[in-house]
Amino acid sequence: MAANEENSRVLILGGTGFIGRNLVHYLVSNNLASKVRVADKVPPQMAWMNKIHKDVFASPVVEFKHSNLINPASVSSVFTDESGNYDFVINLAAETKYGQSDNVYREGIVRLGMNCAEEAARRNVKLYIEISSGQMYSSDKKPANEDLKPDPWTHVAKYKLQVENQLSHVTGLKYRVIRPAIVYGVGDKCALGPRIIIGAIYKYIRQRMKLLWTKELKMNTIHVDDLCKAICHLFTHGESGQVYHCVDKGHTNQGQISELVAQIFGISYEFLGSIKSNLARMNMTSVVEDINDKHMAPWAEACTRDGIKNTPLNPFLDQELLYNKHIHLDGSKLEETGFTCDHPYLEITQLKQVLDDYINMGLFPQTLLSGETNLKNRLEDLDLENDLDLENDLGLENDLENGNVEELQEEIKKVHLDNGS
């Protein structure tokens, strides 16, 4: 942000979440705003913040306002300030939990988003920034640029795209859209956080970690500090109405993430590959339920051992995120405006910082790091590969053993067609 923007007034919608708290910290620590108002339904005292984030929310520059942004009256109240209108408004508020009903997403993403955008236009704010989703393309062939037709592969992305499309119809709204890759960093509980926790669980149960699909599955990343930097960069750069991908330079994939997690915990891992994963895909709901149930048992045991009765952390993986869908983004359009990442590559030190933050806040059972489970009689049940009984159910075990891949693939296609998929 340019020096003359230091006296800017910033409104952050959904500001006590993972990205929001880091954006508040970025603005305050870099003296980029004279006032920051945070609007959220979750107050800072209940948002599981670490000391750094608690301290920044206590800054005289920061003001919190409780709000329900699905309610237009609440939105109007959030935008109203006796000192005048806000210069920059960033919308981070949305229903981001996976597995919800369409109606929940329509209300919590589309209705909420348009309420805020229309109010921003009425208030004639200098710039409105919509934080969308990077789950808009599923191809791994080459990084997707912003001109590629979106094909959203999660419900969150589907409804975020609806918001993107409707923003252009809001008269007088000056806006930009950011589609971030997987956002990680201190405070992350839902992106790479569950994979860190699962790595610790496999250390605890003394098993090899097994993952669906292959190491080549694209899982591009962006550090939360770089996303915050990009948001502030677009205050004074870029063009109104444009979409920008925010992604680092690492071309991160599942193999790189798994290797870093394995190094942290000293565990081994392997990928089940496309054939077995496609077999699992035919019974994905059951497989994912079993995986999550089996991870939860040692997690609950470790929490009990360490006396942790309440924590926002858990090893749950949502089914929508376990398909062979890629996050593979081209960030050159944003870079052409002069933006550069301070964290161009995902590194082990950054994941350790996330883990250390969990531990320092007393949210993570350290028993996972130094102990061993008492569930020894259930360790066989914790083997993911044992869940893939579809080989026997479909009579395909001989194809796997004999390497008849073409015949197996034809059978898989047949089953997909029979199931209408």
Q: Which helix (H) or strand (E) holds 209?
A: strand 209-211
Mean pLDDT of 38-51: 97
What are the structure tokens assigned to 117, written together? 């955008």
pLDDT band at 8 (very low <50, low <70, confident <90, very high): very high
Mean pLDDT of 138-156: 93
Nearest to 173 by CA among 91, 67, 66, 80: 91
The CA-based angle 192-194-198, given to 5 degrees, is 120
Cα separation, 421 vs 415, in Å, equals 9
Contact (CB, 8 A) for 101 and 140: no
**Residue with the larger pLDDT of the pair 40 and 378:** 40
Percent over 90 (pLDDT), the chain? 81
pLDDT band at 410 (very low <50, low <70, confident <90, very high): low
Q: What is the pLDDT of residues 295-308, one digit of tens each?
A: 999 999 999 999 99
Percent over 70 (pLDDT), the chain? 88
The pLDDT, as a whole number, for residue 388 is 55
Residue 353 scores a pLDDT above 70: yes
Beta strands 242-246 and 182-184: pairing type? unpaired
Residue 394 scores a pLDDT above 50: no
Q: What is the pLDDT of residues 78-136, one digit of tens each?
A: 999 999 999 999 999 999 999 899 999 999 999 999 999 999 999 999 999 999 999 99
pLDDT band at 417 (very low <50, low <70, confident <90, very high): very low
Cα separation, 123 vs 37, in Å, equals 15
Residue 403 scores a pLDDT above 90: no
One-letter amino acid of 278? N
Q: What are phi and psi of 363, to 5 degrees?
A: -100, -10
**Residue with the larger pLDDT of the pair 4 and 26:** 26
Q: Of 105-114, 131-140, 224-233, 307-316, where does mean pLDDT reach its minimum?
A: 131-140
The pLDDT, as a whole number, for residue 416 is 42
Nearest to 231 by CA among 129, 133, 161: 129
What's the chain's average pLDDT?
A: 90
DSSP summary character for residue 150: P
Task: Pinpoint the residues of the chain covered by CATH 3.40.50.720.
Answer: 3-191+218-250+324-349
**Cα torsion angle, 178, 156, 326, 164, sign:** negative
The pLDDT, as a whole number, for residue 391 is 46
Q: What is the pTM of this model?
A: 0.90
Residue 166: Cβ within 10 Å count:
14
Q: What are phi and psi of 253, to 5 degrees?
A: -130, 175
Question: What are the angstrom distances between the C-alpha of 75 and each of 82, 128, 155, 211, 353?
Answer: 15, 14, 24, 43, 35
Cα separation, 385 vs 298, in Å, equals 18
Q: Of 36-50, 105-119, 166-180, 396-410, where does mean pLDDT reach its minimum?
A: 396-410
Cα separation, 336 vs 164, in Å, equals 22
Q: Of 13-22, 121-130, 196-205, 383-392, where does mean pLDDT reach its minimum?
A: 383-392
Q: What is the pLDDT of residues 52-76, one digit of tens each?
A: 999 999 999 999 999 999 999 999 9
CATH C-level class of 3-191+218-250+324-349: alpha beta
